[in-house]
Amino acid sequence: MTSIKTEQLKRVLKPIHLWAIAVSLVISGEYFGWNLGWKYAGTVGFLIAAVVITVMYITFIFSYTELTTSIPHAGGAFAYAYRALGPFGGLVAGYATLIDFLFATPAIAFGLGAYLHFLNPDIPVLYSALFFNVVFIIINILGVKESATFSLIITLLAVAELLIYLGIVSPHFKTGNFLSHPMPSGWTGIFPALPYAVWFYLAIEGVAMVAEEVKDPKRNIPKGYISGLATLIFLAFGVMIFTGGITDWRKLAELDYPLPEAISIVLGKTSSLTKIFASIGLFGLIASFHGTILASSRQVFAMARSGYLPGWLSTVNHKFKTPHWAIIAGGFISFIALYTGTTGDVVIISVMGAIIMYMMSMISLFILRKKEPALERPFVAPFFPVFPAIALAISAIVLITMIWFYAQLSLIFFAGLAIAIVIFMLMGKHKLKLEEEFMTAPIVE
């Protein structure tokens, strides 16, 4: 059995913090990124894609919560897949989750830079994105309770701003605008738009990454997931529908700042309210940016603690009780992605990681139900096996779609996975025995 260094994280998070983390991880998806799907599907086609993906997330979250509460481990899907499928299952799920969160961070950083550029064209997108990276690495190192409290405040501001946005634009909604060129590529256009619909909800599963830092996780984690998802569904459909009816939606289909542009169409580009809105809009992007750094660092920490990544990445800072090297390593990856990619490319790679992680999680759920029927399950997935089967089937469709329509990016993703597997084998990590950590799944209060 491999000796595991069991540094303990502080249990300080309450349900309100979990709601804030769940919403903050995702809410940037309401501000930008999703509109890129209009280019392929049109407004009605993308609405259909969003409904399909919403069904996927509802069934997934209710199923995933069973895993999170049964095995409250910072590794999330990595821990579940290891327990169900062994070392290789853990590797695939861990790699997918890392890609999910590590690439979501630079995608959001691009959005932040674009919003600042909208406010002041003299501010370069890249440099402001790098600046935010450094600032939020420092905030996350300072402590999880402090960063979660910050997340709560910034998330409340972001939600309030989206509600104000809906209040401003809804009187100007015109059905004719929304139904103009509704499905320019027909039904086939829905498929390449699916990943951008995923962006509406991507990263909500990151709540699992702080499972070891939650007070009474068996009771509070379901509250965080369900309340967070309900909030996000309401905001996603409100923003998508009303924004699509403001003007010719094609003007907004390739922008990284669709909401400020929509407000400027309603109020006028010279209106001071337009600038104020764009400034407040930074809150939503900051909330998600902060949250994805938090989640990705916990994934790096968990995999390093388990021997899948260099052990020094699992070091917990003695003063702040946070995995500072894991946070810094994630920031380094974000820097590389910002220098080498575009918003659309980074979104697609991040979504691909998420989809494979969802599939591995649902497969793990089925296996653990059979393999460990006596496992304590404080939250049981409703309508089993229907819900996890639906989530798995839709995820598989999205993955096939992405491989077909985004072949080059898919090649990059799977090449990275192949390299990880080779290194894994050469280092003998496939022989790891981590029962101490995953088979007992201890909870230390």
> pTM for the whole thing?
0.83
Residue 438 has pLDDT above 80, yes or no: no
Q: Which two three-digit tokens encode residue 117?
A: 């550029």
Predicted pLDDT of residue 330: 81
Residue at token pair 């980074």: 346
165 phi, psi to nearest 5 deg = -55, -50
Whole-number Å distance between alpha carbons of 403 and 279:
37
Q: Convert the pLDDT of each residue in 314-332 to its tens digit.
A: 787 777 777 878 888 888 8
User: DSSP characters for 56-72?
Assistant: HHHHHHHHHHHHHHHS-
Residue at token pair 């199923």: 63
Predicted pLDDT of residue 215: 74
Who has greater pLDDT, 3 or 419? 419
Q: Convert the pLDDT of each residue in 71-88 to its tens digit.
A: 877 667 888 998 999 888
Predicted pLDDT of residue 45: 95
Residue at token pair 């959001």: 108
* Contacts for 156 with CB less than 8 Å, ≥ 6 apart: 20
Residue 358 has pLDDT above 90, yes or no: yes
Who has greater pLDDT, 431 or 347? 347
Averaged confidence pLDDT in the chain: 83
What average pLDDT does the segment 18-33 reach? Answer: 83
Amino acid symbol at 8: Q
Q: Secondary structure of the chain: what % helix, strand, coil (to 5)?
A: 75, 0, 25
Q: Convert the pLDDT of each residue in 230-239 to its tens digit.
A: 899 999 999 9
CB 179 within 8 A of CB 43: yes
